[in-house]
Every structure is written in C-alpha cells, then in structure tokens.
Amino acid sequence: MIDDDYGFGLEGELPSGKDLREDYRLTARARAWILPESPEPESEPSTLDGVSGRLECQVRDISARGISLLCEASLSIGSILVAEVSLGEHAEHFRLSVEVMWCREAEWGYLIGVRVLESDETDYLDWIEAVARALSES
C-alpha cells in the first residue's frame, strides 16, 4: 500500500452502544464499488436500490473480515454482493464477495457494514495480506 493515511480505530459503534467487531479496524482513504448482481440470462439488468451500474462508496474503515461504508443508496441486509475495493490512491482493486450485515440511514446517505466472505474466486487472500501489512505499518 502506498498511502500512509491509516490508523487504528473502533469508532462508529452501533446505536445500542455495543461494538460487535472482533478485529482492529484501520481508517484509510479508500474507495469501494458495489457491483449489481449478475442478471439471469434473458432478464433485465439489476440495480442497487434504483442505482444502475456500480455503486461507488467511501470506505470509513477496514479490517480483514469487514468494511464500513458510506453509500448514497441503501443495501438490503443479508445480500451477498461483489465489491471492488481500492486502498490508497493508486493501489490495485481487490475483488471481494461481501455480505451486508447492517444498513442505517445517516446524515449523508447510508452507513453500511459488510462482512468479507472467504472465496477462492475473489482476491480474499490478497486482501487478508494487504490488511495485515497495513496493520504492521501502523
């Protein structure tokens, strides 16, 4: 990673006051794009709550197993989607399978928590290594 704007953090607790995170979180300048589900053959292209194409989100914080996002559209809890995440300004994109764990309306758009799912068909292992390197650099 080329961007040194990382730090430890457990900010952004749930409304109940309980933070259910099991890992340290890093705050970073990062972007994520949530991809619409692949349509079935001969069906209409899908949208993400009225947003066609990729939904661009700001990353609030990351860990090996989760990402907190700021998005302009809501996502359905329990949805399993594909996300592309870019850490730093010029870093490669990590293609990840994610599950939406929570979604709540915020002052600007929606705060969304996703869990990174282990999958051989994604960049899961590269993601784990990148987050571990960022943690060791902090």
Q: What's residue 2's pLDDT?
A: 35
Q: What's residue 30's pLDDT?
A: 83
pTM for the complete prediction?
0.72
Spell out the domain ranges in the chain.
7-11+23-38+46-123
Indicate whether 90 pLDDT > 60. Answer: no
Instruction: Measure the CA–CA gap between 136 and 133, rounded to whole angstroms.
Output: 5
Indicate whether 13 pLDDT > 50. Answer: no
Among 9-23, 35-49, 55-69, top mean pLDDT goes to: 55-69
Q: Which CATH superfamily is domain 7-11+23-38+46-123 in?
A: predicted glycosyltransferase like domains (2.40.10.220)
Q: What's residue 36's pLDDT?
A: 77
Q: What's residue 119's pLDDT?
A: 92
Mean pLDDT of 14-31: 55
